[in-house]
Amino acid sequence: MGGETIPALLGGHIQLIFVSPVPIKEHVKNGTVRILAVAGKHRMADPVFAHVPTFKELGINITIDNWHGIAVPKETPDAVKNKLEEGFRAIINDPEFKEHMERVGNQVEYLGPQESTDKWIADSQKLQKTLQESGILEQIKAQKK
């Protein structure tokens, strides 16, 4: 999360990054980094980021949430997959867990296997369309030549 991009930003080697809130939060708090926009549908609840407008609010028609999924090998028995699904649903929907996650800058929502698959496909299509329409994809291809 942030990998090499945060040090590159802090070192002045690049001017802009797309990153989830957790690894950048302390830099925002101490003023070394300024957040320009949030890519989600709504502003963030975390007080450090609550003032940051969404891309939509700025007139840029992009909405995408940073999300994580858990995957297992295809041949995993259904009983094991069901047990994992139940366990993760219980953890993610636990109010104490949600409160902790929000305190560190994450907003959590449980999605089941089919919902996750649907979200993955929809987000991939949305990103592909954005890359093509913005011309970024062509710039990336040109740089690789």
| Most confident among 101-105, 121-125, 141-145 (mean pLDDT) | 121-125
- The two counts, helices (H) then strands (E), for the chain are 6, 0
Buried-state track 70-105, b at ≥16 Cβ within 10 A, e below 16 = eeeeeeeeeeeeeeeeeeeeeeeeeeeebeeeeeeb
- What mean pLDDT is predicted for residues 16-33? 90
Alpha-carbon distances, residue 13 vs 8, 16, 114, 144 (angstroms): 5, 10, 41, 19
Identify whether 44 is part of a domain.
yes
Identify whether 112 is part of a domain.
no
- Residue 77: is its pLDDT beyond 70? yes
Identify whether 89 is part of a domain.
no
Identify whether 120 is part of a domain.
no
Task: Report the domain count for the chain.
Answer: 1
Alpha-carbon distances, residue 132 vs 8, 30, 65 (angstroms): 26, 36, 19
* Predicted pLDDT at 2: 59
Write out the residue range of the structural domain in which residue 16 sits: 1-66
For the domain that residue 50 is a member of, what is the CATH number? 3.40.190.10
Identify whether 18 is part of a domain.
yes
Identify whether 61 is part of a domain.
yes
